[in-house]
């Protein structure tokens, strides 16, 4: 092989080696991205399998029962006077304005009507034959709540995650009607969800989505591993090709050196 031919071959091999090295860099970058995806899938799996939820604990008459704390379950169990196993009636109250939270005007009207109570008052009703005052009982209907005691929240209450998060964040509290020692009237006494009497509410691990999370994680890992295996094979092939080219470059380089050395000897 002549000097010109050797030089041309050397340049071709060098270009091929540079191209292979570029492809290797690209594959390593793709594998790095796969590692990020693996970490993201693992983090998501951890989040989904370590999440927790608030449940309402009560006795249904036969055994202790726990139901997820949703707005509907709050209305069914916690905000139901005389519910089985519940000694107190709990109201959902906003942290701003101390208003009772309801989802509609209809619900507000129902709660106002349910707050009605009877007051019996003794009033004078003339005098008897001996001139002593007589009394009669007058019955008056009163309401513990008025429209001003409520706040209507039309969106978000039916979203379980949002509802529970709002309770955990202190946006909503629970309250019971308690006697005011000074006025003798009943008033709402608020509490955070985790301080209610007898552990009415408690936080437990939410396992409802664990199987789905595991299936999603396994599928993601399987896909990532298949792609990574394919890239690894490509990388091995490129490394083998690069090694062969490097060997040939060294050989051609030696031929060039020999040709140059021979040429100088001719002219020396």
- Report pTM: 0.61
At residue 84, the pLDDT reads 47
Domains and CATH numbers, the chain: 3-49+213-267 (1.10.287), 52-205 (no CATH)
Region at 179 (left for phi over 0; alpha for psi -120 to 50; beta for the rest) = beta
At residue 126, the pLDDT reads 81
pLDDT along the chain (268 residues), means of 10: 70 86 92 92 87 83 82 85 59 89 94 87 80 84 91 91 92 87 80 80 85 91 93 92 85 71 57
At residue 40, the pLDDT reads 92
Beta carbons within 8 Å of 16's beta carbon, 6+ residues apart: 245
State how far the Cα of 61 lies from the Cα of 132, in Å rounded to an integer: 54
At residue 166, the pLDDT reads 93
At residue 260, the pLDDT reads 64
At residue 257, the pLDDT reads 65
For the chain, state the CA radius of gyration: 40
State how far the Cα of 56 lies from the Cα of 78, in Å rounded to an integer: 8
At residue 83, the pLDDT reads 46
DSSP state of 62: S
DSSP state of 257: H
At residue 256, the pLDDT reads 67
Extract the tokens encoding 99. 């208003």
At residue 265, the pLDDT reads 58
At residue 82, the pLDDT reads 46
State how far the Cα of 114 lies from the Cα of 93, in Å rounded to an integer: 17
């Amino acid at each position: 092989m002549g000097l010109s031919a050797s030089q041309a071959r050397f340049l071709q091999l060098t270009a091929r080696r540079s191209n292979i090295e570029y492809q290797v860099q690209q594959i390593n970058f793709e594998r790095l991205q796969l590692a990020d995806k693996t970490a993201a899938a693992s983090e998501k799996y951890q989040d989904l399998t370590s999440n927790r939820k608030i449940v309402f604990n009560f006795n249904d008459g036969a055994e202790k029962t726990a139901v997820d704390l949703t707005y509907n379950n709050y209305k069914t169990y916690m905000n139901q006077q005389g519910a089985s196993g519940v000694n107190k009636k709990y109201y959902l109250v906003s942290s701003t304005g101390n208003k009772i939270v309801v989802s509609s005007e209809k619900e507000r009207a129902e709660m106002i009507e349910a707050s009605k109570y009877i007051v019996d008052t003794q009033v004078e009703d003339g005098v008897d034959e001996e001139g002593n005052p007589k009394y009669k009982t007058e019955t008056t209907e009163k309401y513990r709540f008025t429209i001003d005691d409520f706040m209507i929240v039309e969106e978000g209450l039916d979203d379980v995650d949002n509802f529970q998060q709002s309770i955990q964040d202190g946006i909503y509290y629970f309250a019971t009607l308690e006697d005011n020692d000074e006025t003798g009237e009943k008033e709402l006494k608020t509490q955070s969800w985790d301080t209610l009497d007898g552990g009415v509410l408690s936080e437990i691990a939410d396992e409802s989505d664990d199987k789905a999370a595991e299936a999603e994680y396994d599928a993601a890992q399987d896909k990532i591993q298949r792609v990574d295996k394919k890239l690894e094979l490509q990388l091995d092939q490129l490394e083998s090709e690069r090694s062969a080219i490097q060997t040939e470059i060294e050989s051609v380089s030696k031929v060039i050196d020999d040709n140059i050395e021979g040429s100088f000897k001719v002219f020396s």
